[in-house]
Amino acid sequence: MATSRIADSVGRVLGDRYRLLRPIGVGASAHVFSAEDVQLRRRVAVKVLHPALAGEEAFLRRFRRESQAVASLRHPNILRVYDWGEDHGSPFLVMELLEGGSLRSMLDRDALLSPAQAAAVGADVARALDYAHRQGIVHRDIKPANLIFDEEGRVSVADFGLARALAEATWTEPAGAVMGTARYASPELVRGEQLDSKADVYSLALVLIEAVTGQVPFVADTPFGTLMARVGRPLEVPDAVGPLQAVIEAAGAADPAVRTDARALARALDEVSARLPFPAPLSLAPPDPAELVERDDQDPTEFPGRPRLFDAEAANPDPDPDPRQPTGAKLFDGEEGVDGPRPDGRSKLFDGAQWEDPGAGPAGDRVSSTRPGPGLGLGPAVGGGTAPAWPDPVVVPARPRRRLRRVVLAVLLAVLLAAAGGSAWALTTGFFTPNETVPVLAGRTPADASAILGRLHLHLRVTAHAYSPTVGAGRVLTQASAPGTHLEQGRTVAVVVSDGPRPVPVPPLAGVPVAVAQQDLKNLGLTWTVNQASSMTVPAGSVISSTPGSGTLVPGQSVALVVSTGKPQVTVPAVAVQTETYDQAAADLTKAGLVVARTDSYEDSIANGLVVSVTPPPGATVTIGSTVNLVVSKGPHYVAVPDVRGDSVGAASEKLGSLGFNVAGVQGNPVNTVTGTSPAGGTQALYGAQITIVTG
């Protein structure tokens, strides 16, 4: 049997450190064992890959690289990878040990999820995918077999990086494993496109549909047919998923460009969860080592347990059965007198033993026979013929005294058996045990509930913890025995204790407009406070920072938001006009965070280099980085009076006017030629001064 081949590895120590204890999963490319880390003395899971992969250099390179990358992931919903190595040609991974089984094993045992359960599980998986995607890691093989639960029902995503490593190996998994992967593949796979994080989201959408309905959409007879059925077609989400329908449709869009990402999917599933009743505990399906069968059509990480059609070993465990033997089990197979039927068709078991029937034969006689007594369960004669006739009974004369003694003993034995049975019945059914009325325990602490039950001679047992939006953490949420029912003293009342509201992830809010940030927090059931501060980089009305900025909070808890008012405001410093030089004023303005612009101007009454005016004026409030304009004096504007002698009065007036002078009048005959000016030509006069023209 394949189970024995797997069991042969039990006790083996890999890498001089990991002792294999028992098998917990088996597939085409790997076997998974519960193991002990003999150095750290802790239980771990060890995935031993197929020895054929040891010779694949491309696979080993990718396997080492992906193992190192996955080992760096730290997320509560990602299966931890502790170590990796090779032992005698077998690559292996050392992982966190979770013993609650996989989603695949639950579905194979017809344990479907309610929409509330699927929303909670899907949100945790989406958060894990979002975290991995932000680290640049894509899973590529999201399916129920890779969603593993611990004993409390917390889900973890397994086999990050393994699918990519296997893709580079020339060793090929059997067609059944390929079909299992194609069932959850995105349509871009058949188009030959590069798979990115959106492919994981599509696969998760298919998994959620199967988790609720038991059916995967678009599954054809072949892997290629399955993939082709998804190309260009929107995901058909059945009504059975209820309020999850719109969320899954967005996650299952055929075009990756419009498909939602993992973060948005997690947020949408959390919003749906908040509107649904609190989910019941999951019906976990831990792996049963007795069910492990090595098959080529299993997924490498699949927990076994589901029935398989056309399984040669299960359907016909004995490849060459003896047609003479019955189909049932052989009693004492191999012992003398049991190996086969007698020639007359009777079993050799108890051959020759006699049994008596006091009710057969003439009155007072007993019948003796060599045939087996009733109730031995040997069945009809085998070998294909009709049942042989039994020999005629032999009549033996009766012995009255012995018979009477037997009757008396039989009656006494019956009375004793009845008394013993009655006592056993009374003890096992609690007939003589007082009953107590089960009190209301919901809302109480386990200590208080235990004390109350103790006074009634009942016991308390906490079987699980669950989140509740209404019952505080550390208090009884539900009880298995309803209040008012009656239990015998000494019995146990099982309860589920609340962990309070389900923690929600704090979204990154830096740079987000404050209205959008507040809406995101409101959708998660969180509150907020707002403080304002200026920022040189964050525009007014957007979040500068949030505290806490990451992690999780319980609904009702608060996030402190710091919102930008824009760049800070400053006051234009004082400038002594007509007294302070430009260099002094510019230094003060620059120190205040302002930009200085200079304009020069001739000023008759202000010395060169002194500030004439400031705009905006000193004392005004402006945004830091604003520009302040300084008008700086160039001193009086002197211009040389031109020599206009020999010019006509008209020509001289035009020259003087072009230089900014004003002609005050003409001294002499205006028709005559100009003989001079006052002030005289060549002297310096203020711009705009009055000039008198002199003629001969």
Q: How far is CA 359 from CA 368, 412, 453, 663, in A?
A: 11, 20, 58, 165
CA distance 346 to 696: 171
Peptide bond before residue 144 is cis, with ω within 30 degrees of 0: no
Query: Residue 502 and residue 117: Cα distance in Å, rounded?
Result: 13
| 255 included as an active-site residue | no
Q: Read out DSSP for 57-119?
A: HHHHHHHHHHHHHHHT---TTB--EEEEEEETTEEEEEE----S-BHHHHHHTT-PPPHHHHH
Question: Is 544:510 a contact under the CB 8 Å cutoff?
Answer: yes
Alpha-carbon distance of 92 to 125, in angstroms, equals 25
State how far the Cα of 668 lies from the Cα of 687, in Å rounded to an integer.
25
What's the rounded Cα separation, in Å, for the pair 498 and 484? 22
Going by the DSSP 8-state scheme, the letter that residue 371 receives in this structure is S
- Radius of gyration, CA atoms only, the chain: 48
Closest CA to 561 of 585, 527, 594: 527
Residue 523: name the closest of 550, 505, 536, 549 by CA.
505
Name the DSSP letter for residue 49.
Answer: E
The token pair that represents 508 in the structure block: 């990154």
Distance (Å, rounded) from C-alpha 239 to C-alpha 213?
10
Give the H or E element holding residue 400.
helix 400-429
Report residue 6 CA to chain centroid gap. Answer: 32
Task: Tell me if 102 sits within 8 A of 164, measured CB to CB.
Answer: no
DSSP 3-state of 316? coil
Q: Which helix (H) or strand (E) holds 629?
A: strand 627-633
Q: Which of 124, 130, 141, 299 is catalytic?
A: 141
CA pseudo-torsion sign 676, 682, 686, 688: positive
Alpha helices by DSSP H, listed for 288-328, are: 312-315
Structure token pair of residue 385: 């013929």
Catalytic annotation, residues = 141
